A and B are shown apart, each in its own frame.
Chain A
Amino acid sequence: MAYSDKVIDHYENPRNVGSLPKDDVNVGTGLVGAPECGDVMKLQVKVNPATGVIDDAKFKTFGCGSAIASSSLATEWLKGKTVDEALAIKNTDIVNELSLPPVKIHCSVLAEDAIKAAIADYKKKQASEGKLSAVSSQTSV
């Protein structure tokens, strides 16, 4: 089985590898795994509180080339999107862009899962933050 050029490119030059401060309220972290191959993927988004747009996205994946390429591509797509737009990214979009073969589709599923987990974490943080600051913001607005 041959990898597509795009997979190889993302694998050899992964975009946005690294991490963002986990405890930042504007950062959402998703950590997911694929038990059938033992891959682990961490994906993080940093949302601009003023605009609701994702300013930055980082990932780190321990796994096969397709898993790395899927998460690398996901971080590229996430930047500049709103949280809701990010949730609209489907694993099939990743499959098409990277021309993933059927046996590697689960890698794209993992990336979609990671995006959803990161956004869910962000929303959870915002909700608990919102409760805490509700009193103070009433006076400032």
Chain B
Amino acid sequence: MSSPTLQVCRECGGGAPVDAHFCPQCSKILTLGRHGDYFAFLGLPRKLGIDAEDLEQRFRGLSRKFHPDYFYNAAPAERRASLERSSYLNDAYRTLKQPITRIEYLLQVEGLAPKNPQEASRQVPPALLEEVFALNEELDEIRDLRSGGAPAEAWKSRLERARRPIEAKRVEHEAQLEELSARWDALVESGAGERDRRAALEALRDRFLERNYITNLLAGIERELNAAL
């Protein structure tokens, strides 16, 4: 990694750590330029296990420090820096707050964002595709029944039956993501080598790719159930 470790304060010209928010020399707010990532911005290691309360406190603390109200009478560059840091902070907090967007973000900053679609497609187990396809067909049939004016009793139980396996899959999938997240954190803590880290991230990505199928299906089922109300 060749990311810079220092940034230059535009106010006093002094050097500051790349993830500092205020200049250690002149204590002015630093322009948001090149810096690390959401984790580093919040002073966190690049781990997936994040304590919600700790994150909240960090967010609130920085939020107060960057608040544009405090820079009302400051120079334009500082006012802009306060706005930029506030906005970046909001993005960082929103992304890291949810475990799912946190994983997605980690994969992105670690360079494991989706490759080309053809490759991604091959990483999804065929058995899952089969299952998803069959459930989609079942949903289609139920939709036809409903729009054909069939009484609710006729298709509601079918809908519930269709939901059970996919709901179970969602629970199982979440547990797998948690387990893989914990594995990643352990590797970060032990300072494991690039190969082990890469393998853990790839496993995480493969699991992560299955997520859209499961959530889309569940959303489809929910829509049908709500339409019944």
Contact = CB atoms under 8 A, between A and B. Distances in A.
A35 B130 contact: no
Interface stretch (A1-9, A26-34, A50-58, A76-84): A26-34
Interface residues of A, number: 16
A31 B122 CA distance: 11
B126 A110 contact: no
A21 B133 CA distance: 16
A106 interface: yes
A104 to B, nearest CB: 11
Contact of B212 (A37, A42, A106, A113): A37
Interface in B124-180: 124, 126, 129-130, 132-133, 136-137
- Most B CB within 10 A of own CB, among A31, A33, A62: A33
Given A60-B137, A62-B136, A110-B121, A38 B213 contact: yes
A20 interface: no
A109 interface: yes
A23 interface: no
A33 B213 CA distance: 9
A17 to B, nearest CB: 11
A109 B124 CA distance: 16
A24 interface: no
Contacts of B132: 33, 40, 62
- Most B CB within 10 A of own CB, among A31, A34, A113: A34
Interface in A59-80: 60, 62
B215 A36 contact: no
Nearest to A31: B129
Given A110-B121, A113-B118, A35 B133 contact: no
B85 to A, nearest CB: 31
A25 to B, nearest CB: 20
B209 A35 contact: yes
A40 B136 contact: yes
Interface string A38-49: 101010000000
B117 interface: yes
Given A35-B209, A35-B210, A35-B212, A40 B118 contact: no
A40 to B, nearest CB: 5
Contacts of B216: 38
Contacts of B137: 60
A35 B126 contact: no
A60 B132 CA distance: 13
A27 to B, nearest CB: 16
A110 B210 CA distance: 16
Interface in A98-136: 106, 109-110, 113
Given A106-B117, A109-B118, A110-B121, A36 B130 contact: no
Contact of A38 (B114, B123, B130, B212): B212
A35 B121 contact: yes
Nearest to B125: A33
Contacts of B114: 35-36
10 contacts: A31-B133, A33-B129, A34-B120, A36-B120, A36-B209, A38-B212, A38-B216, A109-B118, A110-B121, A113-B121
Given A35-B210, A36-B120, 15 more contacts: A31-B129, A33-B121, A33-B132, A33-B213, A34-B121, A35-B124, A35-B212, A38-B212, A38-B213, A40-B213, A60-B137, A62-B132, A62-B136, A109-B118, A113-B121
